[in-house]
């Protein structure tokens, strides 16, 4: 009998796969860094998760997909969910009672307010600028001549006392180089950038309304300096999943399992926002320039025709 449900999240820089059993418990996970939306990367994540679970495709009851590349699942998906619904469901399962989810991925940041049942009430998304995302911190690490894995610890050694006038993924690197040329301590620069990015994320959260408890997800949640800076800005401790990158894939799997078992199902056909600007390391961006605090934000309140929030 087919007992497993597979959730897949194909994002802008990585692919995640989660396998759950009939009890809706996680039996295998895989995270593959792809660098871009990649069918090959997703296939690698599938192969790794199936290998860990020790299962074949004929034991899979359904496949669910989410993320930018959710239409690219090899062989197609049985269910397709928006990132917002999937992340909210996954985090609510990991942290019952959570009311706000902040997901910082490779190229966008999402703030999702959920109700007491873990259903989406409102969300805001910085979908026009990669500021404060994984791509942003990769550029910062490169400019500071450190690796992305060490960046958080490196920033934790510095003082956040420098003014950062631009958080554009392109121009922030230019500013970092200028600060280095002036002789400022690289650790202080890193700390100051993290502090400024947290303030910008706080502004995004303000679009949906602060609520507690707060969970932080996405690959950036592995950066200790990001966690510290955002926790300080919010004035509370953050809930961090053991594996913060799999919440979208996990949520997609749960939503599919619930649908198969007769539960209500979110809108599968809603489209995700287009990937944000990455500038390719050159050029200017009218969406990013002109302000050190404003973000280009998509904000929606989601309500199904029945009146149920999805």
Whole-angstrom Cα distance, residue 98 to residue 260? 25
pTM: 0.82
3-state secondary structure 219-252: HHHHCHHHHHHHHHHHCCCCECCCCCCCHHHHHH
Q: Are 182 and 152 in contact (CB under 8 A)?
A: no
Distances (CA, A) of 185 to 160, 188, 194: 11, 5, 14
Return the pLDDT at 263: 60
Q: Is residue 294 scored above 60 in pLDDT? A: no
Return the pLDDT at 2: 66
Q: Is residue 283 scored above 90 in pLDDT? A: no
Buried b (16+ CB within 10 A) or exposed e, 204-238: bbebbeebeebbbbbbbbbbbbbbbbbbebbeeeb
Whole-angstrom Cα distance, residue 265 to residue 258? 8
- Percent of the chain clearing pLDDT 90 (strictly above): 55
**pLDDT tens track for 194-227:** 999 999 999 999 999 999 999 999 999 999 999 9
**Looking at residues 88-116, what average pLDDT do you find?**
94
Return the pLDDT at 107: 85
- Percent of the chain clearing pLDDT 70 (strictly above): 82
Return the pLDDT at 162: 92
Q: State both tokens at 244.
A: 């913060």
pLDDT band at 37 (very low <50, low <70, confident <90, very high): low
Residue 307, number of CB atoms within 10 A of its CB: 6
Return the pLDDT at 12: 78
Query: Alpha helix (H) ranges present in the chain?
Result: 39-53, 83-94, 134-143, 148-156, 171-181, 186-208, 224-234, 247-260
Q: Is residue 285 scored above 50 in pLDDT? A: no
Q: Which of 43-57, 111-125, 159-173, 222-236 has the lowest mean pLDDT?
A: 159-173
Residue 12: helix, strand or coil by DSSP?
coil
pLDDT band at 167 (very low <50, low <70, confident <90, very high): confident
Question: Strand 60-66 to strand 79-80: parallel, antiparallel, or no bridges (unpaired)?
Answer: parallel
Q: Which residue has the higher pLDDT, 290 or 198?
A: 198
**Looking at residues 122-143, what average pLDDT do you find?**
85
Closest by alpha carbon to 133, among 24, 57, 218? Answer: 218
Residue 84: helix, strand or coil by DSSP?
helix
Closest by alpha carbon to 155, among 126, 104, 196? Answer: 196
**pLDDT tens track for 45-80:** 888 998 988 888 889 999 999 998 888 887 788 999
Q: Is residue 289 scored above 60 in pLDDT? A: no
Closest by alpha carbon to 101, among 74, 122, 80? Answer: 122
Whole-angstrom Cα distance, residue 113 to residue 309? 11
Return the pLDDT at 247: 97
Domains, the chain, ranges and CATH?
4-130+198-301 (3.30.420.40)
**Looking at residues 81-100, what average pLDDT do you find?**
96
Closest by alpha carbon to 88, among 122, 65, 63, 112? Answer: 112
Question: Across the strands, what pairs with 63?
Answer: 6
Q: Is residue 103 scored above 80 in pLDDT? A: yes
Q: What are phi and psi of 125, to 5 degrees?
A: -140, 125
Average pLDDT value for the chain: 82
């Amino acid at each position: 009998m087919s007992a497993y449900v597979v959730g897949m999240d194909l994002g802008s820089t990585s692919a995640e796969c989660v396998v759950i059993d009939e009890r809706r418990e996680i039996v295998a996970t895989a995270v593959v860094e792809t660098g871009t939306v990649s069918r090959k990367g997703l296939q690698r994540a599938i192969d790794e998760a199936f290998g860990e679970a020790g299962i074949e495709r004929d034991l899979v009851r359904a496949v669910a997909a989410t993320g930018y590349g959710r239409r690219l699942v090899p062989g197609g998906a049985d269910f397709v969910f928006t990132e917002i619904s999937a992340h909210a469901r996954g985090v609510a399962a990991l942290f019952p009672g959570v009311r706000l989810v902040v997901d910082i991925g490779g190229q966008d940041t999402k703030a999702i307010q959920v109700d007491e049942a873990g259903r989406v009430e409102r969300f805001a998304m910085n979908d026009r600028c990669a500021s404060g995302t994984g791509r942003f911190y990769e550029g910062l690490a490169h400019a500071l001549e450190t690796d992305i894995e060490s960046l958080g610890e490196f920033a934790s050694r510095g003082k956040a006392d420098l003014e950062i006038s631009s958080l554009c993924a392109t121009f922030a690197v230019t500013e970092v180089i200028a600060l280095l040329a002036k002789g400022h301590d690289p650790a202080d620069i890193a700390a100051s950038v993290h502090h400024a990015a947290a303030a910008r994320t706080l502004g995004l959260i303000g679009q949906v309304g602060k609520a507690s408890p707060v969970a932080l997800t996405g690959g950036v949640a592995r950066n200790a300096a990001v966690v510290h800076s955002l926790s300080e800005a919010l004035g509370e401790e953050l809930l961090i999943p053991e594996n913060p990158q799999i919440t979208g894939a996990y949520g997609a799997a749960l939503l599919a399992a619930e649908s198969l078992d007769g539960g209500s199902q979110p809108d599968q056909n809603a489209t995700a926002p287009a990937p944000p600007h990455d500038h390719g390391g050159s050029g200017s961006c009218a969406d990013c320039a002109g302000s050190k605090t404003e973000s280009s934000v998509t904000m929606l309140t989601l309500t199904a025709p029945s009146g149920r929030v999805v």
